[in-house]
């Protein structure tokens, strides 16, 4: 089982490359509205004006009391959502790659992989009861269909022949077809159960606990592809940050890391990502060939 958290941990390891960010722990459980937080260890770099991360929530520090290890904070900083956190949760100071941002990048990557230009998709199967006379039948439960794969009729328990005289119609009046999608039947067909398989987009991860296969619909072989995509998206802004004309706190940028290094690294990853997308699209195409009408 690969969850979104698993991918984010791998990406973080790659991007930090051994760099250890300053950390602490929550001394006690907090609610989503607490603005006074006590840490377990000495505050160190946790001071007024700093930002730290609890799970996927960023928190801004207004005041810090070193004696009591207490921080007065603003919750849900920089567009993140304030949630409850349990005692012992890691607090990461000024994270280079915030997990909330990485989760957003993961979902953007999932959306992008579902593009028809990439040829990747989730297979959704629906069983419909057909009365033998209607020419169009509502595709129950459909919300976003990319393409019809095939329609099969349950002729016997062990025989589901493909019905070639069928096609998908979309954007229909919901007063007549509740889903807005319908299967059009262009040949005489007996009553029975139709098994419809369609291509649909992958589903976004609602949290770090979301399983990429069972929840998002991604094939298990795509784990590394999603990891590549998140890494690229998180690195893309590094060269922009380098170009700021204000003073730079990281003096390594000029001499040890030449201009364009981040861009060149992303270019290599983009090439690898494209090769992996092509490979996965070929595998899906072979596994789910479109049944053309005769």
Residue whose token pair is 């229909």: 172
The whole-number pLDDT of residue 252 equals: 54
pLDDT at 242 over 80: no
The whole-number pLDDT of residue 238 equals: 66
Residue 34, Cα to own-chain centre: how many angstroms? 29
Residue whose token pair is 């920089």: 78
Exposure string (b/e) for 145-162, b if CB count within 10 Å is 16 or more?
A: bbebbbbbbeeeeeebee
Report how far residue 174's alpha carbon sits from residue 183's, in angstroms, rounded to the nearest whole number: 14
Residue 98, Cα to own-chain centre: how many angstroms? 15
Find all residues with CB under 8 Å of 96, minimum gap 6, and list them: 15, 16, 19, 21
Q: Taking the complete model, does pTM exceed 0.85, yes or no? A: no
Instruction: Report the range of poorest mean pLDDT among 32-36, 162-166, 212-216.
Output: 162-166
pLDDT in tens, 166-213: 999 999 999 999 999 999 999 999 999 999 999 999 999 999 999 999
pLDDT at 27 over 90: yes
Report how far residue 85's alpha carbon sits from residue 199's, in angstroms, rounded to the nearest whole number: 39
Residue 141 sits at φ, ψ, to 5 deg, of 80, 0
Report how far residue 182's alpha carbon sits from residue 197's, in angstroms, rounded to the nearest whole number: 13
Q: State mean pLDDT over 4-30.
A: 93
Q: Band of the pLDDT at 76, cuts 50, 70, 90?
A: very high
pLDDT in tens, 249-267: 555 555 555 566 666 778 8
Instruction: Report the range of poorest mean pLDDT among 14-23, 119-128, 264-273.
Output: 264-273
End-to-end CA, the chain: 41
Q: Band of the pLDDT at 116, cuts 50, 70, 90?
A: confident
Return mean pLDDT, the chain: 89
Residue 269, Cα to own-chain centre: how many angstroms? 18
pLDDT at 138 over 90: yes
């Amino acid at each position: 089982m690969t969850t979104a958290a698993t991918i984010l941990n791998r990406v973080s390891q790659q991007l930090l490359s051994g760099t250890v960010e300053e950390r602490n722990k929550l001394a006690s459980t907090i609610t989503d509205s607490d603005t006074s937080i006590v840490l377990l260890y000495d505050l160190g770099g946790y001071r007024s004006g700093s930002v730290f991360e609890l799970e996927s929530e960023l928190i801004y520090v207004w005041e810090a009391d070193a004696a009591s290890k207490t921080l007065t904070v603003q919750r849900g900083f920089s567009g993140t959502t304030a949630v409850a956190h349990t005692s012992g949760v890691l607090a990461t100071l000024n994270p280079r790659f915030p997990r909330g941002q990485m989760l957003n990048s993961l979902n953007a990557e999932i959306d992008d992989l579902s593009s028809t230009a990439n040829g990747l998709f989730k297979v959704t199967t629906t069983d419909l009861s057909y009365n033998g006379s209607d020419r169009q039948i509502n595709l129950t439960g459909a919300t976003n269909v990319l393409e019809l794969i095939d329609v099969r009729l349950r002729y016997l328990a062990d025989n589901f022949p493909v019905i070639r005289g069928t096609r998908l119609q979309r954007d229909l009046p919901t007063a007549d077809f509740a889903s807005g999608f319908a299967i059009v039947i262009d040949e005489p067909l007996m009553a029975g159960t139709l098994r419809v398989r369609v291509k649909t987009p992958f589903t976004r991860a609602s949290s770090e606990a979301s399983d990429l296969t069972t929840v998002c619909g991604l094939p298990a072989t795509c784990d590394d592809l999603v990891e590549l995509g998140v890494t690229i998206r998180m690195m893309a802004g590094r060269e922009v940050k380098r170009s700021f004309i204000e003073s730079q706190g990281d003096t390594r940028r000029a001499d040890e890391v030449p201009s364009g290094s981040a861009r060149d690294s992303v270019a290599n990853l983009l090439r690898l990502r494209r090769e992996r997308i092509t490979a996965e699209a070929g595998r899906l195409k072979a596994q789910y060939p479109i049944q053309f009408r005769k």
